[in-house]
Amino acid sequence: MSRSSDELGDWNRSQIHHFFNVEVPKILASSCTCSLENCIEFASTLLQTNRLEPVDWQGNKSYTLVAHEKGKVIQFRLELLNDHINDLATRIYGPMVPIYHGNPELAGFPLPVWSKSASDDPSRILQDKTLRTLAPEVARIVRVVQASIHKLDRLPLVLTHTDLAELNVFIDDEGHFTGVIDFDEAAIDPFGMSIWCLYECYIGFMDDGRFHFFGNRTTSGKTAAQILETSFWKTLWTNVPENIDKSALYVALAFGVNHRTLGIFLKCRVDANNEFHMTKLEYARSIIPTLPSL
């Protein structure tokens, strides 16, 4: 379900407000300031144009502007891009990875930090009694994943984009991939870890705190989600080497979904009164039981 233009506008304003009023102050010293106006002024000077537009989907840890006439995008980030990872992504994926340039004038710009992907630990997640109580079906599958982690050794290690959500994928009008951005948090992981995005982003949606798979039915009687999922797996198995272990790949998928939806609970306990916690748990309860059997 797509957002209306009004909902998208409200959401973007909320993201921008959160970035400058919540995230930026966490990084800056109290003596420093960085405002929306500062960033727009800097971008205008750097790109030599006043014709700047915020992108339609803002991240919660960056602020992005586009200058169409210049063919440029400028992003103000809390975290520095990792040159090594982006160079590696370019060598592997070629033109799918946009070319970016850091500005040397920003060496003293007060938004530097680099974050690395966290590693998941199912046993720590299972220690959370509230999670086991609220989502026993999820806890059961996490136990299966925990017992199957050794299978990940059967998979090749690949450069894995850790956030292949809609915001980071570009397609043309015919639905062909034309680019992928934000490789800065990429990690070397077993093949299949990033397939979580299929279930969370491309065959379902969150609406009013509830996750739904696309339920509109075709003439075959199957739902759109079922057709898309079947098409994905058919295409994947047609194109990967024959020696890829299916059972191991399904473990990698489940491990990736666990980390995406439950990874936050490595740092804190589930709080039933915390809306963000409940949203993450809703994703987990809705998606994890539907994954291919391990």
Q: 10-residue block means of pLDDT along the chain (294 residues)?
A: 64 87 79 79 83 86 87 82 75 72 49 30 83 92 88 84 87 85 82 94 92 93 96 96 93 92 86 92 95 89
> How many Å apart are CA 285 and CA 34, to the nearest integer?
39
Paired tokens of 64: 């992005």
pLDDT of residue 101: 62
Q: What sign does the CA torsion over 46, 29, 15, 195 have?
A: positive
Closest CA to 73 of 161, 197, 182: 182
DSSP secondary-structure letter at 187? E
**CB-based contact 195:233 (threshold 8 Å):** no
Q: Is 193 left (phi over 0), alpha (psi -120 to 50) or beta?
A: alpha
> How many Å apart are CA 49 and CA 228, to the nearest integer?
42
pLDDT of residue 120: 46
**CB-based contact 243:150 (threshold 8 Å):** no
pLDDT of residue 5: 64
> How many Å apart are CA 266 and CA 118, to the nearest integer?
10
pLDDT of residue 121: 63
> How many Å apart are CA 266 and CA 131, to the nearest integer?
12
DSSP secondary-structure letter at 242? T
> How many Å apart are CA 35 and CA 56, to the nearest integer?
19
DSSP H helical ranges for the chain: 5-18, 24-27, 36-47, 83-93, 122-126, 129-134, 136-148, 196-197, 224-239, 246-262, 275-287
**Between β-strands 157-160 and 72-77, what pairing exists: parallel, antiparallel or unpaired?**
unpaired
User: Coil, helix or strand for 157?
Assistant: strand
Which helix (H) or strand (E) segment is 204 a member of? strand 204-207
pLDDT of residue 107: 45
pLDDT of residue 281: 94
pLDDT of residue 108: 43
